[in-house]
Structure 1
Amino acid sequence: MDQASSETESPSRQIDKRIEDLADWRGETLARLRALVKEADPEVVEEWKWRGVPVWEHDGIICTGETYKAVVKLTFAKGASLDDPAGLFNSSLEGNTRRAIDLHAGEAINEEAFKALIRAAVSLNSAARAKKKR
């Protein structure tokens, strides 16, 4: 697909295409995580930013879904402010803002804990947006 046609496709379709193009465990993993995000927040908005990064938003960025050769990385924009009782965050732990979950081939994720993180991120974004409106 050329640059012009990719810019006219919806973000959701671009994410579909990314998953199809990966055609391996990374595509399967990204597809499963995407489904969990949508289950956790049916009102989530999908975006396609930074020349090819799936982004899920609700009153701001919830998380991004990057794919690399050896890992699928879900980076939570405000992860450092979220409780993570299940210990899902295992990457980008040194910063003051973001936190990430790296999944390698064959690794599973605690789906209920992941959905709880999504819901917590939405709540944090919504609270910040409500505070700004006051």
Structure 2
Amino acid sequence: MNYVKDPRVDQYIDPLPAWQQDICQKVRDLVHAADPEVEETIKRTVQPYFVLQGNVIALLAAKDHVNVFLYDGGITPDPHNIITAGHGNKTGRMISIHEGEAINEEALVEMFRAIIANNRAGGWRKLKGGQ
């Protein structure tokens, strides 16, 4: 997949164990596949963020999993039940992916596209406030 990479994101991913590198790279590819206008950056000193008219997702490698933080205000539907934590969170939710777990790529891209659409419509704060 061809997209503009922020070398700081590579600096975050490269020293990780191979299985975490694979997960991070797959999620990175999928968020760019969801919309080619997604941009990469680093926030909070080292954490990779993927943004388009607001935060879409962030990655955080933990000891035994990789967290994909979804910045959706809890309004993006999850018909495939891939959200693993933060169901009651007012700003975002999370998907934890452990070593050896399959990634539901179709569901993830669907969720990324919904978050991006919400961002383009003014962001989840605006959309949630109107509910």
Question: TM-score when scaled to structure 1?
Answer: 0.84
CA shift, 1:12, in A, is 1.1
Give the ranges of 4+ consecutive aligned residues of structure 1 lying more than 4 Å apart after TM superposition.
none
Shift of 1:27: 1.0
Deviations 1:39-94 (A, max 9, x none): 11111010101011000000100010111111100111115110111111111223
Within the alignment, does 1:58 sit opposite 2:52 as a pair?
yes
TM-aligned CA distance change 1:100 to 1:68, over 3 Å: same
Q: Is the 8 A contact 1:64 1:76 kept in 2?
A: yes
After superposing the two structures, state which structure 1 stretch, 18-27 or 63-72, moved more.
Answer: 18-27
Counterpart of 1:20, as a letter, is: D
Structure 1, unpaired ranges of 5+: 1-9
Distance 1:36 1:11 in 2: 13
Structure 2: where are the runs of 5+ without partners?
A: 127-131
Larger Rg: 1
Q: 1:68 is matched with which residue?
A: 62
Of all paired residues, the percent bearing the same amino acid is 31
TM-score, normalised with respect to structure 2: 0.86
Higher-helix-fraction structure: 1
**CA 28–79 in structure 1, closer or farther in 2 if over 3 Å, else same:** farther
